[in-house]
Amino acid sequence: MRLAFVTPRYGAEILGGAETQVRDYAERLAAAGHDVEALTTCAVDHHTWRNALPPGESVATGVRVRRFAVTRPRDHALAARQQPVLDAGLCLGPEGERAWVENTGVSEPLLEAIAATAPRVDALLFAPYLFASTVLGAAVRPDRSLVIPCLHDEAYARFAPVQAALRGAAGLILNTEAERDLAARLLGELPPNRVVGEGFEPAAAVDGEGFRRRHRLDRDALAYAGRRERGKNYHLVLEYVTLYSRALSRRGPVRLLAMGGGPLQPPESARPLVCDLGFVGHGEMLDALAASLASVQLSRMESFSRVLMEGWLAGTPAIVDAGCPVTREHCAQSGGGVWVGDAEEFAEVVDRLRADPELRGRMVDAGRRYVARRYNWTAVLGRLEAAVRELVGN
């Protein structure tokens, strides 16, 4: 097949679940013999949309990458006016929603390239759902457009331009049944769709004990990997770990291994408990997970959650938020994790895991089997190839 992925940011240096998923899909399909290219902007930071990379063509891991300049600079004053309205649960109105989308890295040359590319490819694949490259780009040739939405239950998913793009596409490629349920609630009647998910290799050798020695960990630890922002409920992770360590624990305090970056800093009461690792390489992340009692992911804004899979492969069970259908679905179907609704339930789970190594081991084994069975690359690539052929009629 001849395929073109369209994403606002592309490359190994780009952090983000959707961006990683697109790159993995593109590289795996290219390695399988498909003709694959990626159309993207010159931006790296989705908060500024500044053109940080030069326009032009390159080849990255078998994928032809074409970059185009962002031509509408970020209007920071508009963003500052609109975000408090959304945070308050209010609507922007039709003009405001359109303005929000058009403030997310519009590139006229990219839209022109989409139109020129569409006749010579079997499908255009857009991700994620909320940015101009998808909302405006998928409307250029909807009959050739498949959207990989990576959908979250958030205000942007209710914008009229966003929903029009999703409804108008030739099809949707979804990550989980829970994401499909969310799409159905938001959109009503869904366009043709398939659930594919993300792929993983078996974990390379991990060294949890070596990590503990290198970082002089002398107590049980919990791991958090991801963006440190309220949208990912990182503040709740800090709150639960602090309450557990200061008041609720029956077995003493724990450390929090915090990986990733973001604006949210721990309050004074939590700082002694946090081991701030910042941005780490993939191998170091796996070692940190292996060194931990559990991976704590309390985000409700997930369409898949790579870090759950990485944790299971590294030998770590998961603690997730009961209000996140996606991560709860993974834990229920795998047996590799537990969902909690408040700090007291969190404390009970952590105490139980600390007291029962055999239970922890059974959860890890269940999680690993789940990833190996459902999300090995052979299975995922087969589902992806079938989805593209079926949804665009090839």
Determine the Cα–Cα distance for residues 259 and 285; give it in Å rounded to an integer.
Answer: 8
Query: For residue 394, what pLDDT is reported?
Result: 58
According to DSSP, the β-strands at 56-60 and 63-68 are: antiparallel
pTM: 0.92
CB contact set of 29 (below 8 Å; sequence gap of 6+): 1, 3, 36, 381, 384, 385
Which of the four pLDDT bands, split at 50, 70 and 90, describes residue 203?
confident
208-374: CATH number: 3.40.50.2000
pLDDT digit string (tens) for 59-83? Answer: 999 999 999 999 999 999 999 999 9
Residue spans per domain, the chain = 2-199+376-392, 208-374
The residue-averaged pLDDT of 129-146 equals: 97
Cβ pair 209, 244 in contact under 8 A: no
Query: For residue 107, what pLDDT is reported?
Result: 98
Closest by Cα among 310, 324, 334, 325 to 224 = 310
Query: For residue 85, what pLDDT is reported?
Result: 94
CATH of 2-199+376-392, one of 1.10.10.10, 3.40.50.2000, 3.30.1490.20, 3.20.20.70: 3.40.50.2000
pLDDT at 218 over 80: yes
pLDDT at 312 over 80: yes
Determine the Cα–Cα distance for residues 259 and 284; give it in Å rounded to an integer.
Answer: 10
Rg over CA atoms, the chain: 21
The residue-averaged pLDDT of 162-187 equals: 96
Query: For residue 171, what pLDDT is reported?
Result: 97
Domains 2-199+376-392 and 208-374 share a fold: yes
Strand, helix or coil for residue 237: helix
pLDDT digit string (tens) for 92-128? Answer: 999 999 999 999 999 999 999 999 999 999 999 999 9
Query: Edge-to-edge strands of the sheet including 2-6?
Result: 56-60, 63-68, 35-41, 2-6, 123-126, 145-147, 171-174, 193-195
Other beta carbons less than 10 A from residue 371's beta carbon: 24
The residue-averaged pLDDT of 308-327 equals: 96
Backbone angle region of 21, left / alpha / beta, with phi > 0 → left and psi within -120 to 50 → alpha: alpha
Cβ pair 249, 280 in contact under 8 A: no
Which of the four pLDDT bands, split at 50, 70 and 90, describes residue 13?
confident
Cβ pair 228, 260 in contact under 8 A: yes
Query: Which residues, in sequence order, are bridge partners of residue 104?
Result: none
pLDDT at 230 over 90: no
Strand, helix or coil for residue 205: coil
pLDDT, averaged across the chain: 95
pLDDT at 84 over 80: yes
How far is residue 190 from each of residues 77, 130, 148, 167, 177, measured CA to CA in Å? 35, 17, 14, 7, 13
Query: For residue 261, what pLDDT is reported?
Result: 85
The residue-averaged pLDDT of 48-66 equals: 96
Two tokens, residue 201 = 């290799």
